[in-house]
């Protein structure tokens, strides 16, 4: 599109395709996430700012016998206080997340893997043109990435389901697919023929993209349900900040020093072997599927949320008894 028309049309086309998803995100009802109380039940947990009529109608002596919420409620609900509470909860969740060895190993492998993918996406066409004198390297690399990305992602999910989806099996698939993909991609940049390169690189990309399903499976299953949103958020931020963002300039610096695209691509591709080794370590780490770990916690939270606090009931009953007396 960019070559035949204008890059402006490419971006407008992408925006048009994404418009329905943006509208859906605004219009649809909030999803009920596992491990969280329903949204409509949380209003019962908010402090009640109004005073009960029974307490208002009681005399001073009766009010003294009741337990009344102190006037610092307003300060506790101030924006600064809420921000501090949220920051404290975030810090606690992050600490719990980073203590999970399975999660940390999975993300380290994912960062290494994304380091290579980022360098391929940025420097791949230029390297392909310099090594093999491709007539249209952007179209060739883009086509291989799109086709192999879709097929590889689907194949990885189907294979994980067929071998009994567990965290241990996911690490085995991650390590095996990555090392095989690394061998094919490494071999592709070693051959002299363009046709052999296309075949070997396509096989490597197919295997490499088969990791998408198992890597996300581990990120979701190794943490309790209430930490899943944070788990995926940290995963996404990490693979970009430590993976594809620095990989492109680092590969460029290497190319400036060696001035040989074949050597540069082979060095970048070798990082996939490192990623495979990290995921291989994950096989031997003790793990457990935490899919339903805080299910009981969730039920108790919902029960508490949908009922009036016992403290409030005792306060009102005390006021009623005092009024009758």
d(CA 189, CA 150): 23
Q: Of 281, 272, 289, 270, give the one whose Cα is nearest residue 177.
A: 272
The secondary structure of 274-287 as a DSSP string is HHHHHHHHHTTS--
Residue-wise burial string across 217-239, b where 16 or more C-beta atoms lie within 10 A, e elsewhere: bbbbbbbbbbbbeebeebbeeeb
Output the pLDDT for position 51. 43
Q: What is the mean pLDDT of residues 95-122?
A: 94
Would you state the pLDDT for residue 52?
A: 42
User: What's the average model confidence in pLDDT over 203-231?
Assistant: 93
For the segment 137-160, the average pLDDT, to the nearest whole number, is: 92
Mean pLDDT of the chain: 81
**pLDDT over 70 at 73, yes or no:** no
pLDDT of amino acid 220 = 92
Going by pLDDT thresholds of 50, 70 and 90, the confidence category of residue 1 is low
Q: Please give the helix or strand (H or E) that residue 70 lies within, else none.
A: none
Structure token pair of residue 40: 């409509």
Give the lowest-confidence range in 28-32, 138-142, 302-306.
302-306
**CATH topology assigned to domain 100-282:** Growth Hormone; Chain: A; (1.20.1250)
In which band, very low, low, confident or very high, does the pLDDT at 102 lie, cut at 50, 70 and 90?
very high
| Per-residue pLDDT, 25 | 84
Taking CA atoms, 288 is separated from 10, 156, 168, 218, 237, in Å, by 45, 21, 9, 10, 25
Q: In the chain, what percentage of residues exceed pLDDT 70?
A: 74
Domain edges within the chain: 100-282
Token code pair at residue 152: 């590889």
DSSP state of 29: P
Q: Is the pLDDT of residue 210 over 70?
A: yes
Residue 204 is predicted with a pLDDT of 95
Residue 35's pLDDT band (boundaries 50, 70, 90)? low
Nearest CA to 145 out of 229, 202, 105 is that of 202
Determine which of 19-23, 193-197, 273-277, 303-307 has the lowest per-residue pLDDT on average.
303-307
178 within 8 A of 209, measured Cβ to Cβ: no
């Amino acid at each position: 599109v960019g070559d035949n028309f204008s890059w402006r049309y490419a971006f407008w086309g992408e925006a048009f395709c994404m418009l329905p998803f943006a509208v859906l995100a605004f219009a649809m009802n909030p999803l009920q996430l596992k491990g969280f109380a329903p949204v409509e039940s949380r209003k019962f947990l908010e402090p009640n700012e109004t005073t009960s009529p029974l307490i208002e109608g009681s005399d001073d002596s009766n009010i003294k016998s009741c337990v009344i919420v102190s006037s610092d409620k307003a300060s506790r609900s101030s924006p600064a206080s809420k921000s501090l509470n949220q920051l404290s909860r975030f810090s606690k969740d992050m600490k719990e997340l980073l203590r999970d060895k399975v999660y940390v190993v999975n993300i380290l492998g994912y960062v290494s893997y994304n380091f290579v993918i980022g360098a391929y996406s940025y420097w791949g066409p230029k390297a392909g043109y310099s090594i093999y004198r491709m007539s249209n390297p952007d179209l060739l690399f883009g086509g291989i990435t799109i086709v192999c990305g879709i097929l590889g992602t689907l194949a990885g999910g189907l294979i994980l389901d067929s071998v009994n989806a567990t965290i241990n099996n996911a690490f085995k698939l991650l390590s095996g697919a990555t090392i095989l993909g690394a061998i094919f991609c490494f071999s592709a940049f070693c051959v002299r023929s363009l046709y052999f390169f296309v075949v070997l690189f396509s096989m490597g990309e197919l295997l490499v993209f088969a990791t998408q399903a198992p890597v996300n499976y581990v990120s979701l299953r190794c943490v309790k349900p209430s930490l899943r949103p944070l788990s995926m958020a940290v995963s996404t931020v990490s693979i970009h900040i430590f993976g594809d963002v620095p990989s492109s300039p680092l590969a460029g610096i290497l190319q400036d020093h060696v001035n040989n695209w074949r050597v540069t691509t082979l060095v970048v591709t070798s990082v996939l072997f490192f990623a495979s080794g990290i995921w291989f370590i994950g096989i031997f780490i003790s793990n457990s599927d935490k899919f339903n770990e805080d299910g009981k916690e969730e039920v108790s939270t919902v029960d508490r949320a949908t009922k009036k606090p016992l403290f409030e009931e005792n306060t009102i009953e005390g006021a009623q008894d005092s009024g009758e007396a």
